Amino acid sequence: MKEHVHQMLDQLDTSQLAAVAHLLEVLTDPISRSLAAAPFDREPIAASEAAELDEAHAAIQRGEGIAHEDMLREYGIVR
């Protein structure tokens, strides 16, 4: 099986290989596996939390949100 996987990896271009590498990192990371296996939180949302979520969604609709790319740059994840 490993030989077959190695043969397939040899056929990938750089961007495809990077995607596979990321997938393998997630699959082999114990924290990622734990998060993926964790049950969905079914705790009820309090009325105050629901109001805050409604306001956040409205702010995003008004264009007041922060772009995902900007957040990644702010935290040094991308340049």
Tens digit of pLDDT per residue, the chain (79 long)?
Answer: 999 999 999 999 999 999 999 889 888 888 888 888 889 888 899 999 999 999 999 999 999 988 888 998 988 887 7
What integer pLDDT is reported at residue 59 of this predicted model?
A: 93
* Residue partners of 78: CB distance under 8 A and separation at least 6: 69, 72
- Do 12 and 5 form a contact (C-beta atoms < 8 A)? no
What integer pLDDT is reported at residue 25 of this predicted model?
A: 87
Segments making up each domain of the chain, as ranges? 1-39, 46-79
